[in-house]
Structure 1
Amino acid sequence: MSTSTDTAPTEDTAAPALAPPRGGVTIDDWRPEDEAFWESVGRPVARRNLVWSIFSEHLGFSVWLLWSVSAAMLPKVGFDFTTSQLFVLVAIPNLVGALIRLPYTFAVPRFGGRTWTVISASLLLVPTLLFAWAVQSPQTPYWAFCLIAATAGLGGGNFASSMANINFFYPLRKKGTALGLNAAGGNVGVAFIQFFLPIVVGGAGAFGLVKAGEALHLERAGYLYAALAVVGALAAWRFMNNLTGAKSSPREQLVVVRYKHTWVMSFLYIGTFGSFIGYSAAMPLLIRINFWNQPVPDVAGLGINFAYYAFLGALVGSIARPFGGWLADQYGGARVTLWTFVVMILGTLAVLLTLTRLTPVPPSEVPADPSAFVYSEATRAAVDANSAIFPWFLAAFLVVFAASGVGNGSTYRMIPLILQRQAEQTTTEKTREADMARATKESSAVIGIAGAVGAIGGFLIPLTFGSPWVGDPVEAVKVAFGVFTGFYVVCLATTWFFYTRRTTVAGRAPALASADV
């Protein structure tokens, strides 16, 4: 194996190195499909890069979803934003994160995985420090919040570059589990920010075990993640590697936009990952709207505090993701994806059913002196009745999260196999090695495109929940879940049509069997 430092490349040697190369160097000879190479050299290098890739991606996801939980706290610290405005703040980072994933994907073959991880981690200083500045002044205008929320989308781009990079390090038979672990480590960053942010800023959390302080300090979260971003950049520089064999031009990668399966898989990823990130972003506000009542900020609220439970959805979805990759390795990604959508349909219908059982909470009259506010008996009774339904709502929603996590893992397992199958159909014995290498590069490009398109769901879901054209926020949520159920039915039919049936409708050509993908 030949390795080189960034400043002084060494000469290529004919004999492979006996010891795995250290972090911080560029690796010229990388052959993960060679069993002897993998066992002696490849595995420890790939594992080390995976660990620090997960750390960097974890930070990216946390920053990306920073607004998901902080938006629900803004009214508490003096910001007078409407429900629709808060949902827009939650949605904006997801849109930017989706759009930025394409250039982030192509950056890995252009600059190297290690180099780009250093850059992307350093860029997280922008959204974190701007966030810390904005939340300290209730006079900060809404438009400024929208611009600052947009910069949080930089964290969403980390996923695409991280997944594209790790795809190069592992052999095909290991990609499902490796990509699942990499993605899960990033996804769990959503759960971390939603669990720890309320505690860090001085709010209540941890199922009520942590009590709220006298005041909230949202800026603490911004400063904390700015410091962690510096740690992530330094660790990537010290411990990760660039792969010479991963180098390619954007033109070479963009050929995948002509492939049918690029767009089919991107569409399915809207249903899995788009659901995961969209529901994760919206869940704090969903709990606040449907199960919490606090007309006066300085008076104790009634019902379910979102800070106790909002992180559970992202946590369950993140844990399920590597399990989905493992299931896909065992039983075929298409078959697992098909059943994922079946479960998501049933789970979403169950969530919708719980919402139809909610008791309308009568509006409260706030006196001129807010300190004299008292809840009416009708309000208390309605909130108590809705709180009794919350466990059913949460259980159904967690089923949807788990299914979306499994689907995230299974769809990303499908992509490398689909590209390999396409290459095998046209390769010859003479060009096989080059064609397989090209398929790996192209699968990384498809992973990035699918990640970008799929993340758009993370923008559309909160936007649909906050529909300004539906006057009652509770009714808007019900309508949204009905729309999402119909979309999952379309995703189910698409998976069956392209990947699990044996022949096309007309019987003219075989479809890719689920056992193959």
Structure 2
Amino acid sequence: MADLKKWDVEDPKFWESEGKKIANRNLWISIPSLLCGFAVWLYWGIITVQMLNLGFPFAKSELFTLMAIAGLTGATLRIPSSFFIRLCGGRNTIFFTTALLMIPAFGAGMALQDKNTPLWVFQLLALLSGLGGGNFASSMSNISFFFPKKQQGLALGLNAGLGNFGVTTMQIIVPLFMTFGAFGAMGGDPMTLVSSSGTLIGKIEAGSDTWIQNAGFVWLLLLVPLAFAGWFLMNNIKTPEVSPDIGNPVSSFAKITFMLLIGFITAIFGLWLMLPESANGSGFGVPKEVVLVLVIASTVFLLKALPGEIGTSLKRQYKIFNNKHTWVMSVIYTMTFGSFIGFAAAFPLAIKVIFGYSHVMVDGVMTHDTINPNGPSALMYAWMGPFIGALIRPVGGWISDKVGGALVTQICSVIMVASALGVAHYMKAAYASASPEEFFVPFFILFLVLFAATGIGNGSTFRTIAMVFPKEQAGPVLGWTSAVAAYGAFYIPKVFGEQIKATTPEYALIGFAIFYGVCVFINWWFYLRKSGEFYNP
């Protein structure tokens, strides 16, 4: 049942008689598994807001590091995860990587029950949450083998698009589950809010009980049945083109564990170089940009150095690095998906820090720690941005099929420049005001425009990659660019944290707007010049 020895989906007779049913079954177990991966990866964006609402004894900049840690690890783990399916099989990979998510989910539920839990425990759990970010690469790779070429677009679009909805699902479910003792006595005692919180339904006043630990425990309700479904209902395709020699399941789990460890080690080293001593780092203060390059390069090098089939398989796939368009598309996809995932991670805490506090002069010094009773609830609004970005993503691909991917990307880039500068303007005004809520509506609307532009751009850049690269390179390029762009989930919260500490949050958005402006030029130069190698792919 688990292993398919014959798999020829390009044969219409085979596809209709047995292939379609098997492929759809695997797809509909893959989608919720990936959704849970995104949720566990990015739930620190919501958890940290509630930690502030409960008065956990951490600085705001330290809480931003939790999202940055999860972001860096999740993106780094995408690099080894790109190669799991060939080496370990689809069923083995999806079952094992989904089951691993139970560790950070259960751990977060336990650690959040005590305000005295030290910062390093939360940092370790944020690191393990990165497993959810890595799962995207293996999940997309797996589903691509189950469907014929003419249906791959839809299948991959469903897997990626509904998987991305994990961010929105999490931002709705977690605040709701924190309002009641869902797990009874087994779920621990509630804590009392010291500042107001909220859910999709409305605001929750200070003094109310909240069960913050449910933010971790709730995912076990999905992860446990999904692990069983993955094991008993998914398949390994044991054909020469897909997973020819995967051995037994235990050896597959060992390979996955070993390759994930390489990603964890390089991510931990990068984080140690960058973080201050107060946040359990080296205190060397190595710039985050240098850390990114070091982490990516060392992960790629260590994987390539592995002996046997792993190293051989990677050497063949590393040919994509000789193509200049791999690097061009990495930059452009970082602008779209990197922004989407980074803003999704940072948006809730940014709303809380900028609008949840009154910014008032005390003895001639501007202070930012007076709770604003009229501030909007981050947990009530934050889900809307990622929801719009994920919902509109397929529209980007559909429009690009009609008018060309590069043109759509160009329009999105210009909109992103303008909306980022608009957000920066209102951020600056709010962060200098005793009543920042006056600036919330234009800030929020412009941020939603920014999310929408990233979503459409995600769809258009995928279309451009499909047109620019030969078939045998398009798959690895999609995997590589998605790994590089996922570092947005590390970089954007890190920049927000630094600029909030420096009391200039608007600089973060101005910096992003400058990057988007550079992308406008790069996209035009390579894909919209009449004399270029490609025109509007």
Conserved in 1, the CA contact under 8 Å of 2:30 and 2:139? yes
Matched, 1:54 2:31: yes
| Counterpart mapping for 1:96-107 below 5 A | 96-107=73-84
User: Which of 131, 137, 152 is the equivalent residue of 1:160?
Assistant: 137
The 8 Å contact of residues 430 and 437 in structure 2, kept in 1 or not, is answered as no
1:427 corresponding residue in structure 2: none
- Residues 109 and 247 of structure 1 are in contact (CA less than 8 Å); yes or no, is this contact kept in structure 2? yes
Instruction: Please tell me the residue identity of whatever aligns with 2:451.
Output: F
Q: Is the 8 A contact 2:4 2:235 kept in 1?
A: yes
CA distance 1:296–1:101, change in 2 (3 Å): closer
Residue 262 of structure 1 is matched in structure 2 by 326
Cα distance in structure 1, aligned partners of 2:402 and 2:91: 31
Which residue is equivalent to 1:497? 525
Q: How does 1:386-465 map to 2 (within 5 A)?
A: 386-420=436-470, 439=472, 442-465=473-496
Change (3 A) 1:334 1:178: farther
The counterpart of 2:407, out of the listed 329, 335, 346, is: 335
| 3-state SS in 1 of match to 2:209 | coil
Paired residue secondary structure (2:4): strand
The yes-or-no answer on 1:28 pairing with 2:56 is no
Indicate the SS of the match to 1:152. helix
Q: Is the 8 A contact 1:337 1:411 kept in 2?
A: yes
CA distance in 1, matches of 2:26, 2:379: 34
- In the superposition, the TM-score normalised over structure 1's length comes to 0.79
> How much does 1:412 deviate?
2.2
Tell me which residue corresponds to 1:286: 350
Q: Distance in 1 between matches of 2:207 and 2:229?
A: 34
One-letter amino acid matched to 2:214? R
Aligned partners of 1:169, 1:333: CA distance in 2, in Å?
26
Map Cα deviations across residues 350-373 of structure 1 (whole Å, 9 max, x no partner).
212322443724xxxxxxxxxxxx
Q: CA deviation at 1:467?
A: 1.0
Distance 1:210 1:41, change over 3 A: farther
Pair 469,53 (structure 1): closer, same or farther in 2 beyond 3 Å:
closer
| Alignment equivalent of 1:146, drawn from 99, 115, 123 | 123
Q: Are residues 177 and 409 of structure 1, via their aligned partners in 2, closer, same or farther at CA, if it must alter by over 3 Å? A: farther
Residue in structure 2 matched with residue 17 of structure 1 by the alignment: none
Instruction: Give the equivalent residue in structure 1 for 2:513.
Output: 485
In 1, distance between residues paired with 2:401 and 2:207? 48
Q: Bigger CA drift: 488-497 or 201-210? A: 201-210
**1:367 matched to which residue of 2?**
none
Which digits, 9 at most, give the CA deviation of each residue in 1:33-57, with x for residues without a partner?
Answer: x556555654444333322221111
Measured in 2, the distance between the counterparts of 1:329 and 1:155 equals: 31
Number of the residue aligned with 2:270? none
The whole-number CA distance in structure 1 between the counterparts of 2:177 and 2:55 is 19
What is the CA–CA distance in structure 2 between the aligned matches of 1:112 and 1:495, rounded to whole Å?
Answer: 37
1:222 aligns with: 216
Q: Which moved more, 1:114-123 or 1:93-102?
A: 114-123
Aligned to 1:375: none
Equivalent pairs counted in the alignment come to 442
Contact 1:46 1:170 in 2 (8 A): yes
State the 1:118 CA deviation. Answer: 0.7
Deviation at 1:300, TM superposition (A): 8.2
Q: Does the CA contact (< 8 Å) of 1:198 and 1:205 recur in 2?
A: yes
1:349 matched to 2:421 = yes
1:303 corresponds to: 375
Which of 103, 115, 123 is the aligned partner of 1:126? 103
Distance in 1, Cα, partners of 2:168 & 2:216? 16
Contact 1:207 1:309 (8 Å CA) reproduced: no
- For the residue of structure 2 that corresponds to 1:163, the secondary structure is helix
Determine if contact 1:57/1:158 at 8 Å carries over to the other structure: yes
1:50 counterpart SS class: helix
Letter of the structure 2 residue corresponding to residue 411 of structure 1: T
Unpaired stretches in structure 1, ≥5 consecutive residues: 6-23, 362-381, 421-435, 505-510
Is residue 163–residue 444 contact of structure 1 (8 Å, CA) maintained in 2?
Answer: no
More deviation, 401-410/494-503: 494-503
Please give the secondary structure, in 2, of the residue aligned with 1:139: coil
C-alpha distance in 1 between matches for 2:443 and 2:201? 17
Relative to structure 1, is the Cα distance of residues 268 and 27 closer, same or farther in structure 2, using a 3 angstrom cutoff?
A: farther
Q: Deviations over 1:274-305 (max 9, x none)?
A: 10111011111111122112899998833111
Query: Contact (CA 8 Å) 1:176, 1:410: kept in 2 or not?
Result: no
Q: Is the 8 A contact 2:111 2:117 kept in 1?
A: yes
Letter in 1 for 2:423: V
Structure 1 Cα separation of the partners of residues 370 and 234 of structure 2: 49
Counterparts of 1:417 and 1:239, CA distance in 2 = 34
Tell me what 1:12 maps to: none
User: In structure 1, what is the equivalent of residue 385 of structure 2?
Assistant: 313
- 1:327 Cα deviation from its structure 2 partner: 2.4
Answer with 148-157 or 229-238: which moved more.
229-238
CA–CA distance in 1 between the matches of 2:369 and 2:20?
54
Does residue 198 in structure 1 map to residue 175 in structure 2? Answer: yes
Pick from 226, 241, 246 the counterpart of residue 242 of structure 2. Answer: 246
Distance 1:321 1:273 in 2: 10
Could you tell me the TM-score, scaled by structure 2's length? 0.76
Q: Which amino acid aligns with 1:247?
A: S
Higher alpha-carbon Rg: 1
Measured in 2, the distance between the counterparts of 1:449 and 1:213 equals 47
Rounded to whole Å, the distance in 1 between the matches of 2:431 and 2:41 is 34
Bigger Cα displacement from structure 2, 258-267 vs 313-322: 258-267
- Give the match's secondary structure for 2:167: helix
Contact 1:177 1:325 in 2 (8 A): no
Conserved? CA contact 2:427–2:443, under 8 Å: yes
Matched residues, percent identical? Answer: 39
Q: Which runs of 5 or more structure 2 residues have no equivalent in the other structure?
A: 180-196, 245-312, 359-366
Say if 1:92 and 1:146, in contact at 8 Å, map to a contact too: yes
Q: What is the alpha-carbon distance in structure 1 between the residues aligned to residue 101 and residue 89 of structure 2?
A: 19
Cα distance change of structure 1 residues 316 and 287 upon mapping to structure 2, 3 Å threshold: same
Residues 364-393 of structure 1, C-alpha deviations (whole Å, 9 max, x = no match): xxxxxxxxxxxxxxxxxx32xx32321211
- In 2, the alpha carbon distance for the partners of 1:415 and 1:247 equals 25
Shift of 1:264: 1.9
CA distance in 2, matches of 1:85, 1:270: 25
Residue number among 158, 163, 166 corresponding to 1:181 in the alignment: 158
For the residues of structure 1 that align with 2:346 and 2:314, how far apart are their CA atoms? 34
Change (3 A) 1:212 1:112: farther
Q: What is the SS of the residue equivalent to 2:198?
A: coil
Which of 44, 47, 51 is matched with 1:67 structurally? 44
